[in-house]
Amino acid sequence: LFVWNRIKRNYYQKGVKHFWLDEAEPEYTTYDFDNYRLHLGRNSQVGNIYPALYARGFYEGEKREGENNPISLIRSAWAGSQKYGALVWSGDIDSSFRSFKYQYQAGLNIGLAVIPWWTSDIGGFHGGSSTDSEFKELLIRWFEFAVYCPVLRMHGDREPHEFPIDNQVEGTGAPNEIWSFGKETFDILRKQVNIRESLKSYINSCMNEAYEKGYPVMRTLFFEFPEDKASWNIEDEYMFGRKYLVAPIFEFGKRRRQVYLPLGSRWKDINKGSIRSGGIWINCEAPLDRIPIFERVDY
């Protein structure tokens, strides 16, 4: 209540209705958790619930002011955070293909923890140069993946930094809009934005399902196909809701990949229009402007 009253006076009453709460671990100078004390006890005993209570403070404050659907962008979460409008993102991550694959894994795991609203910094946060061809490819592959994530969001501290503005201590990162990386990249990202727009009603249905049943929006294959033994071993594909199978590209320069189609359904190749029965592996093209996406015909 103490914190919210100050937020209310300095932000909410001035028109700010949603908040980027950022670090909610809390942040530590030294990772010696047993030496930190919180109001509820030693950090080693109660530290994990800090993010949920942090989000709760803002959520309940806004509810008292009459807001119907408070939502906060937050860097950390714990079991129950979803009750308090927590839109979780994975933090200031590295701009690399290695880090990109970690985000895929993080998104699936947080969904299984019943926290459906999740996102990552497309292209990573640290180290991406707006003039580097490998980074542009990473950005494109990450964006193609993010189209089929619960929340699509551009963010990052791009290089090269510009000169400080108004006596700032640090320089300002380079532009990070979809048109900031040249025409070829822009044309591909614009195409992906249009795909995302076309999925709005479907994404709403996935969010409703998450609300009513607790189902994740990003799903492991075994969540949808528990009887298919092969689905339990797939580590580079996922389901977006019940309808779409997504096969991201996690390597620089890769233009083809193997895709497993789960047993028990028929699958339409969105890029080619062909339909196949599941229970098979197929070799798919993956040119820079698209990744393999399959629609579940009989879902």
Kindly name the residue from 25, 67, 134, 236 that is annotated as catalytic. Answer: 25
**What gap in Å lies between CA 59 and CA 68, rounded to an integer?**
10
Annotated catalytic residue 209: no
Is-contact 240 246, C-beta < 8 A? yes
Query: What HEC string does 216-229 produce?
Result: CCEECHHHHCCCCH
Instruction: Give the other-Cβ count within 10 Å of 190's Cβ.
Output: 11
Q: Which residues of 97-120 are buried (b: 16+ CB within 10 A; e: fewer)?
A: bebbbebbebbbebbebbbbbbbb
Residue 269 falls in the annotated catalytic set:
no
Q: Catalytic: which of 60, 67, 92, 134?
A: 92
- Among 22, 94, 132, 209, the active-site one is 22
Residues 6+ apart with CB under 8 A from 126: 92, 93, 94, 95, 156, 157
| Tokens at 78, concatenated | 């714990």
Is 187 labeled as catalytic in the residue annotation? no
User: Catalytic residue positions?
Assistant: 22, 25, 92
